[in-house]
Structure 1
Amino acid sequence: MEWYGVKNADTIDSPALLVYKDRVQDNINLVLTMVQDPGQLRPHVKTNKLVEICRMMLDSGIRKFKAATISEAEMLGMAGAGDVLLAYQPVKPKLLRLLKLIDKYPGTKYSCLVDNISSARLFSESLSNQGTERRNLQVYIDLNVGMNRTGIKPADAFELFNELQRLSGIEFKGFHAYDGHIRDSDLEERTAHCHRDFNETEELRKKIEQAGHQLPLLVAGGSPTFVIHSTKQNTECCPGTFIFWDKGYSDTLPEQDFQYAALVLTRVVSLPDKNKICIDLGYKSVASENDLQNRVYFLNHTCLKPFSHSEEHMVIELEEGHNFKIGDVLYALPIHICPTVSFFDRALIVEDAEIVDEWRVVARNRVITC
């Protein structure tokens, strides 16, 4: 049986998210070898959304994390994480949720992003309204290094840094920069691209150091660039997809040897024509932002190509005379695993080719308690 095969697959309703626990641990062990010190790692948990996975990282010596949503941040509080960066600039309703989260999990040090003085003043005023007992809100200035999504240009950030020093209730912790636009397949070209786009950021950090401050911490990078950033002084790296890996990054980051650790089990549910089969892998079960031929790869039938896709179904065209029967199982490897996980409310845990447990995908919800 191949590594992905499940002996008791006939007991599983489909589509189902399968997580291979031993492979997850292997990926955690590998990422720790790719940096000089575990303290350099601040993994992004948007990929896994599972308390149990976060505890596996904690048990392996990883202490700091990054989250995209309040629910992911709360999941980390539930797991017992010590340091959590909400990689988002909250507007007032989300800020109030964050303050509740800080109160609920006092053992977790929470922080968030800011990229303008108006938001920083909102933070300061909201903290003042909460009373004098509240500790300062820790913030990272979000830098735009070419992603052009959020953040302030590094050339304009020195002034914001100075203004933050004067606001009550705000504690500057460092800079954050996400460089998801850097995706060169060739590592040498990707490295050069990364250095070019972060040149102004390094100049900014040196300018602040020359002004009499410590060299600010930089939280940067995702899966394509985290190893590049790991060579920089006072820098934390934020890979996320490594925990489960996917076909997209496996194809574009050939130098990284993480293992596939999460799949979707799907089945043939209809034979609509002599040269077509229909499976229960719709939009609601696998990330579908890419074009039709770049959404999923079937490990046990690698030649299959999607013909059409809808909410609950995927139709696959093949040659007449095929041997597929209704009920046949396919093991689908997502091209993009991160949004795929969020479609499922539970993950089935595979060990020794059998389903041994199920874990709630708790952070797929917009709200847990806070």
Structure 2
Amino acid sequence: MTSPASIPALLVLEDGRSFRGESYGAEGETFGEAVFATAMTGYQETLSDPSYYRQVVIMTAPHVGNTGWNDEDTESSRIWVSGFVVRDPARVPSSWRAHRSLDDELAAQGIVGIKGIDTRALTRHLRDKGSMRVGISTTETDAAALLARVLEQPPMSGANLVDAVTTPEAYVVPAVGEKKFTVAAIDLGIKAMTPERMAQRGIEVHVLPASTTIEQLRALNPDGVFFSNGPGDPAAADRVIDVLRDVLADKTPYFGICFGNQLFGRALGLDTYKLPFGHRGVNQPVMDLRTGKVEITAQNHGFAVQAPIGEDIDTPYGTARVSHVGLNDQVVEGLELRGDGGDVVAFSVQYHPEAAAGPHDAAYLFDRFVDLLAANSSEGSF
């Protein structure tokens, strides 16, 4: 019987660039958007992040899988990536917490991957040409034939993917200790650590499907509303943007992360656009313009908000302003909205303050949300 390690695999990008390696994970064929992640740790959280739905992730770190796979660090119920690309995977896991190898888990969940290719060359190509559609196959040896199927795949631009990743039913994450507030969290691809971080601060979190209406939100009467991270093009998520506009019109405190930042921008009347190759990793420097503090952040996004930096922005709900900026490329990394009295009534960031695998520089944003809820509690919400 042929060892899985010796099964040939082929990767083909939509511009025709191809790489040949060996099968890693499940055998078969898969397609998605080729993106690279620069994190050296936390691959389990990356793989189980719903924001990576329909994406093939290339790990820039050459050695992946050293700590195997456990059942405690996953961010959702399954692996969401469409495919996985590594250079030199660990032959055996080396962690007392590991329950099995990464290769075994990928195979068990049907995730097609490839190993043994020059991921540095592949990443440099994507940085130069931009993210693009890709196919990985252990059954096709003809690059031209695989390319033809890659070109049949839908692009990420215009894709509305939240219905594929949201929870089918509402559930509650209880507050740890004394309950101080109730927050309605719209699940657009939420990571498990996010409601946990809020629960640690005394918030009872009601995680709701993306199909939740404004009437259902008002019936819950939360102290605040949260929109999570998620996959796809924010310009295609009209339904949830309309709900967010109603939330803002009701003057309910709002906090958004990642996709929730992009939707916040669109709800305020700003545009979004697709970045050439996005930001994915745990080493992205961001400046908080309110304090001047620089934090190292975890990020995973291919779209961003188009907004002027350092200027007030008039909106139907108050005055908005860019609150955080990426220091590598000046991409908008946060927004805040101020009400009639000049106080912040809603805010969002493009990155991940929950950052289960670290860094934790941005954890203060959950405290900032608690402060916003407390300031608003005497005035009521819905």
Query: TM-score under structure 2 normalisation?
Result: 0.28
Higher-Rg structure is: 1
Q: Which has the higher contact order (CA 8 A, sep 6+)?
A: 1
